[in-house]
């Protein structure tokens, strides 16, 4: 942890300086946090213990940051254009915060959520239909097998002309990228449910519709979540591409735009925002899944 | 005996006399000690009539494999029947026919005079495997039948009662994969019982239990039968269990599965397991099974 302080010393001066030494601020806050940590978590021994376990990793991360700082600001061995100092990246994050988070991220989030949920719903619906109806399987399976593997971004030229606004087009693309894995996994999950479970439920007096919702879908949940997960990953990819090519708004577009302006500090800032956002979304996703699939605890390791 | 009045009128059709004692109205459990509960208590009473039922399964090479051949059997309301015979002689298949999970290739089955056309809650089936729904805890599993019949509001109080009945009162919140084999079988018994079926079909329900628990459960099953007036048809490999529990023992033989003979058990309940009559009957049954030549069990003679 003390390594962090060391960063504050020499500066080579080849980089345009940031307005304020944000890096020093951030490191200072971190240092204070780590120094005060035993006090902060005074009453919560196990939380502290959990944090302690990660100490080695944290130390390595700070070391890497220090190396980066040396490579850019201090010794300047890396090309200055593509490798801005951590100071400048942080200063973009701090100064452009409102714009980055509220405008860009907000617009991306709207697009992503609209696309993800419509795609997931459509995928669940087709998956359930295929899983339970021979007719639906007959008509929809070839369609899915044929259209599904096309990367959604390959549709961009068509979508751009076929949809009234680029925004709806982008929603469609994201939905498409979620729809394919979700429907495939849902239907295969349902088709792989042991028939015995349906038999048991029918001897207990369950009718067809009840079986669909109370046996087929719960039993298929693990695979449905696998499908939703691949869908989520695909949707991130599609979101970025759609923004860079069509939508002209959002965090992906921001990165694209700043790259063209050669302001790489902003590009890195954008990447950091994306990383944190997607990390949080995936974590949230796993939380939800663990909640739904409690019954698998101990049966399957994640 | 009451079952005759409940059985459908003899059609005289294809019912072959070949099955010997099993044919026709069936040998009444002559002199069976305890009174068999009067039929007609309530809407249905749970008499089963099987007439010339055959079942064959398609073989991968295109031919038909006979699993059951022309089975005739009538079971009186409230009667306790055990099916005993070598592995593969069609015991499970016969139960599945009665449960309505399979359709007979030829012949017909009746419940209280009405043809059996599909599964229904009035015929409960406890499978050879417990097949508890892994996504529901034990409470949810036992409650399944009530919910499936849309009687949750009226009958939810029963769940705790039936959990207690099978000795799982403290395990309601536990998920199935945490249960031992015997506990899972008891849970699946409770799940079938909670619908208070007219007929309870039991496919080796006590197979996974140790000798001591097994004897307890045998008494429990007898108690349930007395209390709920359920017709019970139970598959077992254990001759002692068959004699201890049943009014009549149906001995089946394989290749193709058919009823070899039906043996009444004329002892009063509660039965002692070691009286000479008991041992003599056991010897007789083992002799029949041995003569049929397919029982893997050591055929020790008395
Ligand atoms: N779904 C099926 N498809 C094909 N053949 C089947 C099917 N179910 C049962 N059989 C055949 O029918 C015969 C009887 O099977 P069944 O399961 O009824 O025997 P069982 O008497 O219950 O045996 P066990 O004591 O081992 O449980 C067997 O030869 C089996 O191979
Ligand atoms: Mg069997």
Per-residue pLDDT band at A195 (split at 50, 70, 90) = very high
For position B211, what pLDDT does the model report? 85
Indicate whether residue B67 lines ligand 1 (CB < 6 A): yes
Residues of A in contact with B177 (CB under 8 A): 295, 298-299
Instruction: For residues B259 and A245, give the distance between their C-alpha atoms in angstroms, rounded to a whole number.
Output: 75
Cα B70 from Cα B54, distance rounded (Å):
5
Q: How many A from CA of B12 to the centre of ligand 2?
A: 30
Among B138, B148, B174, B184, which would you mutate to test the A interface (most chain A Cβ atoms within 10 Å of its Cβ)? Answer: B148
Domain ranges for chain A: 2-93, 97-296
Across the interface, which of A194, A202, A295 has its CB nearest the CB of B119? Answer: A202
Cis, bond preceding B12 (omega within 30 deg of 0): no
SS3 B269: coil
Report in angstroms the alpha-carbon separations of B286 from A179, B240, B241, B266: 61, 10, 13, 17
Residue whose CA is closest, atom 19 of ligand 1?
A: B88
B68 token code pair: 């059951």
Sorted by where each starts, the structural domains of chain B and their CATH numbers stand as: 46-119+238-294 (3.40.50.300)
On the question of pLDDT at A278 being above 60, the answer is yes
| pLDDT tens-digit series, residues A210-267 | 999 999 999 999 999 999 999 999 998 888 888 887 777 788 888 888 787 777 777 8
Beta strands in B13-126 (DSSP E): 48-58, 64-75, 80-84, 106-111, 114-115, 123-126
Residue nearest to atom 26 of ligand 1 (CA): B87
Rounded Cα–Cα distance for residues B161 and B138 (Å): 13
Nearest listed ligand to the Cα of residue B67: 1
Q: Supply B215's token pair.
A: 């004897």
Measured from the alpha carbon of residue B69, the closest ligand is 1
CA B9 to chain centre: 24
- B59 Cα nearest atom in ligand 1: 4
Q: Is the CB of B252 under 6 A from ligand 1?
A: no
Q: Is A203 close to B177, i.e. CB distance below 8 A?
A: no
Q: What pLDDT is attached to residue A214?
A: 94
Nearest CA to ligand 1 atom 2: B57
Q: Which of B99, B129, B148 sits opposite A206 (nearest CB)?
A: B148
Peptide bond into A115 cis (omega under 30): no
Would you state the pLDDT for residue A151?
87
Give CA–CA dist A270/A263, Å, rounded: 11
Extract the tokens encoding A108.
Answer: 């991306």
Distance from CA of B133 to the nearest CA of A (A): 7
Can you give the pLDDT at residue A268? Answer: 83
Mean pLDDT of A4-25: 51
Q: Does ligand 1 lie within 6 Å of residue B87's CB atom? A: yes
Bridge partners of residue B81, in order along the sequence: B233, B248
Cα distance between residue A146 and residue B188, in whole Å:
44
Q: B124 vs A204: CB contact, 8 Å cut-off?
A: yes
Residue nearest atom 12 in ligand 1 by C-alpha distance:
B67
Q: Is B176 helix (H, G, I), strand (E, B) or coil?
A: helix
Of B119, B135, B144, the CB nearest to A221: B135
Probe residue for ligand 1, chosen from B53, B55, B56, B57 as the CB with the greatest number of ligand atoms within 8 Å: B57
Decide the pairing of beta strands B48-58 and B64-75: antiparallel
Q: What DSSP state is assigned to residue B86?
A: S
Q: What percent of chain A has pLDDT over 90?
A: 28
Instruction: For residue B55, list its beta bridge partners.
Output: B68
Quick one: which atom of ligand 1 is closest to the CA of B58?
A: 4
Confidence label for A22 from pLDDT (cuts 50, 70 and 90):
low
Nearest-angstrom CA–CA distance, B3 and A173: 67
Average pLDDT over residues A53-71: 74
pLDDT for A20: 56
φ, ψ at A100 (rounded to 5°): -60, -50
Alpha-carbon distance B85 to B283, whole Å?
15
Please give the CATH superfamily to which domain A97-296 belongs. MetI-like (1.10.3720.10)
Q: How many Cβ atoms are within 10 Å of B98's Cβ, its own excluded?
A: 23
> What is residue A27's predicted lDDT score, i.e. its pLDDT?
72
**Distance from the A201 Cα atom to the nearest Cα atom in chain B, whole angstroms:** 8
Report chain A's mean pLDDT, rounded to a whole number.
80
On the question of pLDDT at A1 being above 70, the answer is no
| Residue from A121, A126, A108 nearest A249 by CA | A108
Main-chain phi, psi angles of B62, to 5 degrees: 100, -20
The tens-digit pLDDT sequence of chain B (302 residues) is 333 344 343 333 333 333 333 333 333 433 333 333 333 334 568 899 999 999 999 988 888 889 999 999 999 999 999 999 998 899 999 999 999 999 999 999 999 989 999 999 999 999 988 999 999 999 999 999 999 999 898 888 999 999 998 889 999 999 998 888 888 988 999 999 999 999 999 999 888 778 888 888 898 888 888 887 899 999 998 999 999 999 999 999 887 888 988 999 888 888 888 788 888 888 888 888 876 554 444 444 44
Q: Whose CA is nearest to atom 3 of ligand 1?
A: B57
Helix axis angle for A86-95 and A22-40, nearest 10°, is 80
The closest alpha carbon to A188, from A229, A161, A224, belongs to: A224
pLDDT of residue B246: 93
Tokens standing for residue A150: 């096309």
How does strand B199-203 pair with strand B231-235?
parallel
- H or E stretch at B202: strand B199-203
Write out chain A residues lying below 8 Å of B175, CB-based. 294-295, 297
Predicted pLDDT of residue B72: 93
What pLDDT score does A241 carry?
Answer: 86
Q: Residue of the nearest CA to atom 24 in ligand 1?
A: B87
Neighbours of B62 (CB within 10 A): 6
Strands (E) located in B239-298: 248-253, 258-264
**Contact B127/A196, CB-based, under 8 Å?**
yes
Cβ within 8 Å, pair A295-B127: no
Residues forming beta bridges with residue B263, ordered by sequence position? B249
Q: How many Cβ atoms from other residues are within 10 Å of residue A32's Cβ?
A: 10
User: Quick one: which atom of ligand 1 is closest to the CA of B128?
Assistant: 27
Determine the Cα–Cα distance for residues A144 and B152; give it in Å rounded to an integer.
40
Do A156 and A174 contact (CB within 8 A), yes or no? no
Chain B residues contacting A via beta carbons under 8 Å? 99-101, 118-121, 123-125, 127, 129, 131, 133-137, 144-145, 147-149, 175-178, 191-192, 195
Span from the CA of B141 to the centroid of ligand 2 (angstroms): 23
pTM: 0.80
Nearest CA to ligand 1 atom 28: B88
Pairing, β B80-84 against β B258-264: unpaired
Q: Which of B208, B171, B177 is nearest to B190 (CA)?
A: B171
Lowest-confidence pick of A51-55, A190-194, B58-62, B107-111: A51-55
**B235 Cα to the center of ligand 1, angstroms:** 13
B2 lines ligand 1 (CB under 6 A): no
**Residues whose CB is under 5 A from ligand 2 (ion)?**
B 92
Structural contact between residues B301 and B283, judged by C-beta atoms closer than 8 angstroms: yes
3-state secondary structure of B138: helix
Would you state the structure tokens that stand for residue B92, as one six-digit string?
């499970």
Cα end-to-end span (Å), chain A: 32
**Per the CB < 8 Å rule, is B144 touching A201?**
yes
Burial classification of residue B108, based on how many CB atoms lie within 10 Å of its CB (0-12 exposed, 13-18 middle, 19 or more buried): buried
Q: Is the pLDDT of residue A72 over 60?
A: yes
């Amino acid at each position: 942890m003390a390594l962090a302080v060391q960063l504050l010393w020499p500066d080579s001066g080849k980089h345009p300086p940031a307005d304020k030494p944000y890096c020093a601020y951030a490191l200072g806050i971190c240092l204070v946090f780590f120094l005060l940590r035993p006090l902060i978590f005074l009453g919560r021994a196990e939380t502290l213990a959990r944090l302690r376990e990660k100490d080695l990793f944290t130390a390595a991360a700070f070391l890497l940051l220090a190396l980066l700082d040396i490579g850019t600001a201090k010794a300047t061995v890396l090309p200055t254009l593509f490798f801005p100092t951590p100071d400048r990246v942080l200063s973009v994050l701090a100064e452009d915060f409102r714009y980055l988070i509220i405008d860009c991220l907000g617009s991306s989030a709207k697009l992503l959520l609209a696309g993800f949920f419509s795609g997931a719903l459509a995928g669940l619906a087709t998956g359930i239909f295929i899983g339970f109806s021979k007719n639906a399987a007959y008509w929809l399976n070839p369609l899915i097998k044929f259209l599904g593997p096309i990367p959604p971004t390959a549709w961009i030229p068509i979508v751009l002309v076929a949809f009234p606004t680029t925004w709806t087009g982008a929603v469609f693309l994201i939905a498409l990228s979620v729809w394919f894995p979700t429907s495939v996994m849902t239907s295969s999950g349902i088709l792989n449910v042991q028939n015995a479970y349906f038999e048991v439920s029918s001897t207990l007096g369950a009718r067809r519709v009840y079986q669909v919702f109370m046996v087929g879908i719960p039993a298929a949940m693990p695979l449905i979540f696998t499908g939703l997960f691949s869908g989520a990953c695909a949707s991130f990819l599609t979101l970025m591409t759609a923004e860079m090519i069509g939508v002209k708004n959002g965090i992906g577009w921001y990165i694209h735009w700043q790259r063209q302006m050669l302001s790489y500090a902003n590009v890195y800032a954008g990447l950091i925002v994306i990383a944190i956002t997607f990390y949080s979304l995936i974590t949230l996703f796993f939380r939800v899944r663990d909640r739904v699939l409690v019954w698998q605890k101990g049966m399957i390791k994640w | 005996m009451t079952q005759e009045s409940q059985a459908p009128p003899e059609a005289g059709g294809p019912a072959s006399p070949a099955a010997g004692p099993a044919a026709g109205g069936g040998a009444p459990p002559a002199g069976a000690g305890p009174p068999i509960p009067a039929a007609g208590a309530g809407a249905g009473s749970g008499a089963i009539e099987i007439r010339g039922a055959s079942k064959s399964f398609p073989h991968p090479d295109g031919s038909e494999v006979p699993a059951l051949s022309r089975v005739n059997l009538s079971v009186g309301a409230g009667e306790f029947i055990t099916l005993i015979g070598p592995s593969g002689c069609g015991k499970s298949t016969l139960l599945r026919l009665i449960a309505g999970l399979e359709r007979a290739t030829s012949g017909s089955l009746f419940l209280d005079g009405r043809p059996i056309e599909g599964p229904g809650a009035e015929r409960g089936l406890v499978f050879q495997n417990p097949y508890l729904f892994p996504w529901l805890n034990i409470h949810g599993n036992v409650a399944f039948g009530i919910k499936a019949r849309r009687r949750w509001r009226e009958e939810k109080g029963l769940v705790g009662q039936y959990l207690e009945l099978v000795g799982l009162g403290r395990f309601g919140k536990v998920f199935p994969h945490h249960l031992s084999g015997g506990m899972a079988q008891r849970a699946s018994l409770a799940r079938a019982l909670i619908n208070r079926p007219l007929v309870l079909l039991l496919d080796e329900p006590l197979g996974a239990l140790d000798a001591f628990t097994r004897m307890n459960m045998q008494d429990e099953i007898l108690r349930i039968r007395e209390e709920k007036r359920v017709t019970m048809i139970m598959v077992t490999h254990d001759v002692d269990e068959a004699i201890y529990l049943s009014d009549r023992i149906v001995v089946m033989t394989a290749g193709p599965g058919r009823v070899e003979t039906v043996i009444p058990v004329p002892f009063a309940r509660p039965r002692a397991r070691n009286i000479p009559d008991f041992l003599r009957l056991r010897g007789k049954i083992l002799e029949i099974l041995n003569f049929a030549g397919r029982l893997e069990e050591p055929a020790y003679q008395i």
